[in-house]
Structure 1
């Protein structure tokens, strides 16, 4: 393990460029091939309309030729990539005929992520991702680093940002003196996956159902036709429908549980003092290091099913903006399984200023009337067309109305917000409860808005924006909403000037 002493400073003329490992193109071969295959997947769609002839040979030659050229260009870029940390910047350049250079200010680095995919692990290499607040993908992604070079790079970035470096073990390694804050067991991950049915899971299941349908028509349908009399006996229709529904639910649970295990197997969250480090994954080991000082928002995610089972999830976000439909894609650091009894303790690890008792201020009483009007409108919009097209069966959709009204009351009842000297805490929803803790020093802007119904009731809502994210307070009186615009933002500390250069060891 490397020493935790600060890395020596040097001028730009004294800092040499470092190259990736000679085995880096081999490590990048599989991910680049997968990315190119997804790009050209659309080329297979015309085969559905071309009959048995398929695509013309000349088109296949063009598609394969373009794919090979893209793969060669990607491998060439990896082979020619070099980097260094100098003048408080991470510089990355690649290419020979067409030179590409990237400059990343080390002081703006939010997180560093170390990955070790299966192929890289076989080759003894790792990948390093460097993220700033620019959003989207990582600003710097270096594939095919040796473990020693990866550690030296992260140490150099730490030295520029704060002058103090911490030990950086590889994914799967541990340091005895580090304090473990959270771990995830196999049973907890299966429960987490079963209660996190996102769009990705639905896409996989729909694809599987397509294959099952094809198999049904080819193999099972002839057998069912031969035994139709027994299957058509009274009472068998509801039994078959029940079995099909249970099989579908089991398939959703299975796919989601497998995805959770693949992503978070062996998950550990440890405290290194100034940083938090999370590592997990079955095939690809992923290690994320987040500076405590960079944390801007913490979200406690507690859907009703997870609350009933006695756990929730915690998302930690910095200014390293991400996009995605699921929590695992949005958050820089995600703790998948946190027992309900340990939630306050873990939240204070991320936000020490959090009060012991949270005395929430509820939503404005008139907000309930607004929620009821919205619930009635949604129910009528669904039930009226259903009754028109399907008659008595469609009229069952009117049962949505009392359910929507009950849900609106529960959501209004359990909303709340709290402003302390350092934090803003917002609790939203009952069926899918989310408690968001925002650092006031990280607030970018505050806006008060009124919709048409809110204007009539004299209420409004306040939106708090941080880098790449936002949270909306429950409805409050319009005068109070306007006053919060000036109250919520906190004065930020003055930043000190960064060092002039860093010499990478080795």
Structure 2
């Protein structure tokens, strides 16, 4: 989801740049980019072999070089055997020579068109195009690589043909620039870096590596030495524990500062020039400083929505808006359009939802509360943790273990805050839930997009006279919060199950 160059206002129609019923090859340098992609996974072992292999490395490099030559030959082979053709309602991809494959991808089934450009792509003025659908865990077609203007023309053609097939002729005639829905200037991207923890992995990895690589006492001595320099008097009073404690505290503060600085730097690299545009019934988002991407998805493919707000978001007066689509992620590979607003004001997020869901009332006028004793149910987990703390501390330190009971008032306070702020809203078009206190989120979906409903009751829930309703939609990510109505009065939960289930069934029958 990052930006590649935008087409000019007077750009020719994509049908002129990409004539139909004509087979086209990839770019002549496509074999080089396929080769580099394949070699990326062997780069670290090869470097380690060269640096630490010693005399035996020269002999061990022979099979490695043979593998590199074989991969290069396969990359060239792929260039000569890969073709694609634009049909009236589909894209046809032909590959292979001995084992031939012909794949037909209807325009109406393409959920996402991703245009990817790394720095090397930009140097050679090429781009990689991925056509995504919901039929599997990998792209329907991955074109490595096309000329830049050809890739952009293919993206526009898929967008126009998809709208034509869906019957929206007015949208198919929309201009190439689209309607701008959201743009992030540099200050907003800096705020995004401040509220995120994108640098946490790098800092944690650096600390773990230094602890493993350095001798045993080096890290501890560094803590002590830093503490002594900060205090200046720790040696004179013999408080070595004080120096070490201050050194650890200073390193923690340094790590937090590094996390924020790295998070800001990563946000600037990944989200520079973020633009969300609407082209008819398709949304297109682009971003990136060095590596640029463009992703587009039809609005009808959006399955669920998530508004998120951490404490740092609230301090800066911001939120984030994400969506679930039927395109899922594979490993660490970013797929599909997931972020409509990486960061924006609450008013801007609500306006964006209202624009894309005009038939639904957002934000809801009223939220329905949980069961009046829901806070008790939420506090049980914290109370159990307190009892475990009492047992563990008491086992080693005797009566000092009773200090663990101090966790119980905090657990009750947190449970009351969660229960007071949680709730749900339901109308003829939309079902929404809100949860959280320290970190808050709003999760909602159109009733017609729901896939399954489930009523859950544990023995403890039955004793309290409450139940929870879980709602499933397609394309839910692993990190997305669940769409659930927790700890409702049992009769109310069953009535909601019947109401929502009936509405879902009627929508399915009409479709």
Q: Same fold (TM over 0.5)?
A: yes
Of 82-91 and 280-289, deviating more is: 82-91
Cα 1:299–1:391 change in 2 (3 A) is same
Which residue number corresponds to residue 294 of structure 2?
A: 287
Once the two structures are TM-superposed, the CA of residue 288 in structure 1 deviates from its matched residue by 1.5
Which residue number corresponds to residue 258 of structure 1?
A: 265
Which residue number corresponds to residue 341 of structure 1?
A: 347
Once the two structures are TM-superposed, the CA of residue 134 in structure 1 deviates from its matched residue by 3.1
Tell me, in whole angstroms, the C-alpha distance in 2 between the residues paired with 1:383 and 1:324.
41
Aligned residue for 1:444, secondary structure, equals strand
Unmatched tracts of structure 2, length 5 or more: 1-9, 477-481
Aligned residue for 1:337, secondary structure, equals strand
Once the two structures are TM-superposed, the CA of residue 382 in structure 1 deviates from its matched residue by 4.8
Cα 1:414–1:253 change in 2 (3 A) is same
Which residue number corresponds to residue 208 of structure 1?
A: 206
Cα 1:97–1:240 change in 2 (3 A) is same
TM norm structure 1:
0.81
Once the two structures are TM-superposed, the CA of residue 451 in structure 1 deviates from its matched residue by 1.9
Once the two structures are TM-superposed, the CA of residue 313 in structure 1 deviates from its matched residue by 0.7
Tell me, in whole angstroms, the C-alpha distance in 2 between the residues paired with 1:494 and 1:157.
28
Which residue number corresponds to residue 392 of structure 2?
A: 385
Q: Does 1:26 align with 2:24?
A: no
Cα 1:220–1:430 change in 2 (3 A) is closer
Once the two structures are TM-superposed, the CA of residue 28 in structure 1 deviates from its matched residue by 3.7
1:92-133 CA distances to partner (integer Å, 9 max, x unpaired)? 232334434444333222121212211111111112122212
CA-based RMSD: 3.9
Tell me, in whole angstroms, the C-alpha distance in 1 between the residues paired with 2:219 and 2:451.
60
Candidates 485, 491, 504, aligned match of 2:507: 491
Which residue number corresponds to residue 5 of structure 2?
A: none
Matches within 5 A, 1:304-383: 304-322=311-329, 332-355=338-361, 358=364, 359-382=366-389
Unmatched tracts of structure 1, length 5 or more: 170-174, 496-506
Cα 1:34–1:5 change in 2 (3 A) is closer
Are the equivalent residues in 2 in contact too, given 1:302–1:432 (CA < 8 A)? yes
Tell me, in whole angstroms, the C-alpha distance in 2 between the residues paired with 1:113 and 1:330.
8
Which residue number corresponds to residue 137 of structure 1?
A: 138
Cα 1:457–1:477 change in 2 (3 A) is same
Aligned residue for 1:290, secondary structure, equals strand
Which residue number corresponds to residue 184 of structure 1?
A: 184
- Count, aligned residues: 477
Candidates 482, 493, 507, aligned match of 1:481: 493
TM norm structure 2:
0.80
Once the two structures are TM-superposed, the CA of residue 75 in structure 1 deviates from its matched residue by 5.3
Aligned residue for 2:273, secondary structure, equals coil
1:17-56 CA distances to partner (integer Å, 9 max, x unpaired)? 2211112223444433324436x58x969x99xx986977
Candidates 449, 454, 459, aligned match of 1:447: 454
Aligned residue for 2:491, secondary structure, equals helix
Of 479-488 and 280-289, deviating more is: 479-488
Aligned residue for 1:242, secondary structure, equals helix
Which residue number corresponds to residue 116 of structure 1?
A: 117
Aligned residue for 1:369, secondary structure, equals helix
